[in-house]
Structure 1
């Protein structure tokens, strides 16, 4: 009976650890996923500047292994250890550590680039946004090889939310290696690609005049400017409807003289389509919140059952000892 009780207890502990490792953090796998985030509204635009810099600073090999190119223990790029005390992320496996990167007020011998530390007014983030990485350190001779297996973007609560300084779990996202690779396509410097090639590859609707404006505004950071345009501006731009290819098979396109009422009908249809898209997006967010609540309820119920089983096992052992 004692062996059986020990097995039950071990199973309960294992199940409890499995439950505590469940993470509700949303995963972003592509630039299209980035477009779903409300940058400039609930999430600072500065997060994109920081993420673009990070994607082009780390090393990614052919096997999708990500390696740090700096020492987070030394405070490079305003980095330091993150304890995950608020349990924002999954519990750490043995041999791993979390680090946070991007504190603009932290003194460091290896500072972030000036366009991140001193961005234009539109992209200021009030020093709320951060990147968190999960790192496994491997000693290889004279130096430690730091492998990253998870990357997150997050942000501190705003002062108006009166939540203190913890990170906001509702605006914490896991960034996949695939998304980092896509962002690396928009690298700046000697290896940067032409804006027209990037526009065509990622299906941007920016016309030549808009590319010229991006190049004129961002200069050597033009590829970053195009990335920001794709993720932020195009999502809300009314030019999307005007730049869509027209369907010449429609009867109204074969008529030379259309009445004003007909034109109004098509504009109305477009507006209804946009409204439906917004409603669908809100419904999707509601479903995600419901799923999180359901997971929490299930975890509490299972935890309650585990405690009952453990207590029952302990009670049986006490009775047997008395007998």
Structure 2
């Protein structure tokens, strides 16, 4: 009886650890969701360049089917990923994880030059990677992740994001080679107020990529800064002697954190994303499973 109970508890604990580890991965479903990521602070801005390349390299058969069209055991430096740290969910039968993004990998099919040598300010430190899950040439899961500092054999679960097919479709709209009218259309579609003529003059053939980076990084920061200024103005209109004494202690907290080595055009700031939205439901599920198991076992005792 005790041995059976111990096995049930072991299974429950293993299931709990699996569910909580997977639930911590945040889903990014749109370009607006991308703005929630701290690109340039906790996440390399080069991750966006790598993600743009991946979205425009794989085939999308229809709205949700992503087809792998290169050899994941060599092309672009891609290789098998074992998920040994259990960062992602266990593989079903017939599936494999692969990773791509190593800029230093020597291969006969290298990453394009704009990924290996991106424009100034987007170089990164060769830490960002894309992990994808494949079965029979169909990709059903994609993750944007990164290696922790000086640890090239593990990935950082706190900076790992699941990328949906919907987001990949949106990024594919920014494919390289778009003309000036295409830039206008994309700018209007995604509500951007950027000067597309300046984007074209600055980024040339990479103008669509430049527009995507501007929308995700710079406009996100500008929007947050505008909101903070609006809140500050409202507070100033309601100043009292008591609040005036406390203003000086809050000034530094009201300003976005901007690293000194960031260029003014590429600053970004946002609140850290919540990675734990599904942990509580998972704990409830585990608790129900344990209770049912104990009830069943009690009938045989």
TM-score band by shorter chain is 0.7 to 0.9
- Which deviates more from structure 2 when the two are superposed, residues 118-127 or residues 218-227? 118-127
**Are the equivalent residues in 2 in contact too, given 1:102–1:131 (CA < 8 A)?**
yes
Choose from 262, 269, 272 the match for 2:234: 269
**Are the equivalent residues in 2 in contact too, given 1:37–1:43 (CA < 8 A)?**
yes
Distance in 2 of aligned mates of 1:152 and 1:187: 20
Cα separation, partners in 2 of 1:109 and 1:306, compared to 1, 3 Å: farther
Distance in 1 of aligned mates of 2:285 and 2:155: 22
Choose from 138, 160, 167 the match for 1:147: 138
Tell me the SS of whatever aligns to 2:198: helix
Higher relative contact order (CA 8 A, sep 6+): 2
Show the counterpart of 2:175. 187
CA-CA distance at 1:211 after TM superposition: 1.3
Distance in 2 of aligned mates of 1:265 and 1:184: 35
Relative to the length of structure 1, the TM-score reads: 0.69
Distance in 2 of aligned mates of 1:83 and 1:234: 37
Unmatched 5+ residue regions in structure 1? 138-145, 243-263, 317-323
CA-CA distance at 1:268 after TM superposition: 1.3
**Corresponding position: 1:217 with 2:202:** yes
Distance in 1 of aligned mates of 2:169 and 2:290: 43
Show the counterpart of 2:26. 26
Tell me the SS of whatever aligns to 2:75: coil
CA-CA distance at 1:238 after TM superposition: 6.9
Distance in 1 of aligned mates of 2:42 and 2:26: 15
Please tell me whether Structure 1 or Structure 2 has the larger radius of gyration of its CA atoms. Answer: 1
Relative to the length of structure 2, the TM-score reads: 0.74
**Corresponding position: 1:120 with 2:85:** no
Aligned residues: 267
Aligned residue runs from structure 1 range 144-183, under 5 A: 146-159=137-150, 165-183=153-171
CA-CA distance at 1:170 after TM superposition: 0.6
**Corresponding position: 1:85 with 2:76:** no
**Are the equivalent residues in 2 in contact too, given 1:21–1:91 (CA < 8 A)?**
no
CA-CA distance at 1:225 after TM superposition: 0.4
**Are the equivalent residues in 2 in contact too, given 1:154–1:172 (CA < 8 A)?**
yes
**Are the equivalent residues in 2 in contact too, given 1:16–1:303 (CA < 8 A)?**
no
